Amino acid sequence: MAGAADVQATDAGRVTFLILRAMRRPILVLVAVYATSMAGWVLIPGAEGAPPMSLFHAFYFLTYTATTTGFGEIPYEFSDLQRMWSMASLYAGVVAWLYAVGSIIKLIQNPHFAQALAERRFAKRVARMREPFVIVCGFGNTGSLLTRGLSDAGITAVILDSEPDRVNALSLRDYRVTMYALRADARVPEHLIQAGLLRPNCRAVVAMTADEEVNYTIAVAARLLNPRARVITRSTSALHEELLVAVGGDVTIVDPFRTFARYLSATIHTPAIHALNHWLIGATPEGLADPPHLPAGTWILCGHGRMGGYIHEALDALNVPVVVIDPRSTPEEVPGGAVLTGRANRETLLKAGIDFAAGIVAGTNDDAENLNILLTAKALNPDIFLLVRQNQHRNEVLFNAAQGDLIMQPSLVTARRILFLLTAPLLRTFFEELRERGLAGDTQFLANTLRELRARVGEGRPRLWTADIDEQDAPAVVELARAGTGVSVGELLADASGREDRLPCVPLVLRSGDAITVMPDLDHEVAVGDQILFCGRTRAKLMLQATLNNAYTLRYLVTGVDEPRSVALRILRGRRPPPVPAAGE
């Protein structure tokens, strides 16, 4: 907090310094003109023996003439010499004021002064924030998508970006919560502090600029300035990932290519994971769809860069045969050696065996080439599974019109991964458990999970949220726990309007200390310090939050006794509120 106050004082001092430096000469000119004019009035004799003006009357005359009021010749009628001096003084004052006003306009138009004012206003607004917020460094495709997701989740973002057009575009977005933005280089530590890095309600710093060197610099600065802050950064470079790991602390590295390769592997082996993931992210608003059917056989991989390498590894782990088409790869450089050196066109696709291939990955870094591969493959084999990489978010309409089976957009994958890390950090554990059980052949667990979600949550887009069982988020549970009354997961999910009914939500993951349980039983007793990831409807989230914060409601759900809450009702009933039963009674 002291560091933030020091930065605000520095901003104020910087603005004051710029004003004084720019207005020093105009102020001196105005003082000189006014002093000379007043000295002349004091020295020039008045008309017909009238005394010269006093300093007060001279200043008074200059004041009302400068404002174009004009009260006349006071306190005595002027002599001709005084009238000549008044004309000279007034014209000199006009010239001095024009010079001063021009200097003010020039100062306002100075970009350095405008930036200093913007930084000062920005720092003051951030200092007044009391709700939790996230610092987002970079407002490109990924930053824009993440900010939209944070807005939908009700989380405020403080944005730093060096491009003025991106910052100005923020005011045109219809966010649900207030977003603050500053055009600044996030690598500068002062700007991170202005954005609230040292404040206790800063939840995380997210570095997702287009330059990975910049992301690394931001991550290091955030770790050094506030070791307690969580840092999330995007990186697709092995070198930068090694450097970020060496930074230590709570630094999470998000690689969209590695993330997507793991997801593709799980989708091929267990297609139901694909349907579940699409439903959770809101891609299928009509409800949880049936798992897609992925044909078995050879896959053609067009492009063997960083993304292609991860996908190749994932397919090899599943013993899926792969044929690579890449203009810069040779059989010696690719595991397995099934490589066609060249561009993915009709000729090379036919040589790769597209007529009988199960799927194709158009994974180059050129959207036009990926669309051409997609259309050519569809023409040659209408039944093939089409996976395409979309590099630019603005081309979304084209890729949707091309009707690929699975579209991989790096910026969208990154934004969703970071959003879930911030709003539902236990979701990764949930999917890892499903993936591991699928690889182990346990299909019944996944089938039961899908059945439970369909039955409880139903149609439409679900909501994901994490409930912390602590004093701040669940004071009612803490109060009952201190009184010796245990509360189970099922009792938390009981509907306050009808105790026998359940809220439309499902507990996905429960973390208790180091122990993590996926799809916990309803009779599992929660403890102070637990974290529970829920999936359900918006109404269920609101009802559950009310239960966690209201001891009367929770006591009713646990005991079935609706206690009187006011003193008057207690007196009318002639009894005090019953004590909370101890555990086991």
Per-residue pLDDT of the chain (585 residues; tens, 9 = 90+): 445 555 554 554 566 777 777 788 888 988 898 899 888 888 888 877 778 888 888 888 888 887 777 777 777 888 888 888 888 888 898 898 888 888 888 878 877 777 778 888 888 898 888 899 999 999 988 889 899 989 988 899 999 998 888 888 887 888 888 899 988 899 999 899 989 999 988 989 999 888 888 888 999 899 889 888 889 998 877 676 777 777 777 788 888 888 888 888 877 777 778 778 878 877 666 666 666 677 778 999 998 888 888 888 888 888 889 999 988 887 777 777 688 888 889 999 999 999 989 899 998 889 999 999 999 999 999 989 888 998 888 888 888 888 888 888 888 888 888 998 888 888 888 888 888 887 777 778 888 888 888 888 877 778 888 999 998 889 999 988 888 888 999 989 998 888 788 898 999 999 998 889 999 999 999 999 999 999 988 888 899 999 999 888 888 888 877 766 555 555 555 555 555 444 444
Nearest CA to 465 among 161, 195, 188, 152?
A: 152
Between CA 444 and CA 16 the distance in angstroms is: 69
pLDDT at 582 (0 to 100) = 47
pLDDT at 292 (0 to 100) = 67
Beta carbons of 360 and 350 less than 8 angstroms apart: no
pLDDT at 585 (0 to 100) = 45
**What is the CATH number that goes with domain 463-573?**
3.30.70.1450
SS3 state at 537: coil
Residue 568, classified by CB atoms within 10 Å of its CB into exposed (0-12), middle (13-18) or buried (19+), is exposed
- CA dist list (Å): 160 to 1, 10, 185, 415, 534: 20, 19, 7, 16, 32
Angle between helices 256-269 and 306-317 (to 10 degrees): 30
Beta carbons of 424 and 467 less than 8 angstroms apart: no
Q: Into which CATH architecture does domain 295-389 fall?
A: 3-Layer(aba) Sandwich (3.40)
Given this chain, do its domains 130-254 and 463-573 carry the same CATH topology?
no
Burial 402-416 (b: 16+ CB within 10 A, else e): bebebbbbbbbbbbb
Fold of the 130-254 domain: Rossmann fold (3.40.50)
Owner of token pair 């993330």: 259
Domain parsing of the chain, residue ranges: 2-111, 130-254, 295-389, 463-573
The set of residues, in sequence order, having a beta carbon less than 8 Å from that of 454 and lying 6+ positions away, is: 287, 288
**What is the CATH number that goes with domain 2-111?**
1.10.287.70
pLDDT at 568 (0 to 100) = 55
Nearest CA to 218 among 234, 200, 199?
A: 234
Beta carbons of 435 and 266 less than 8 angstroms apart: yes
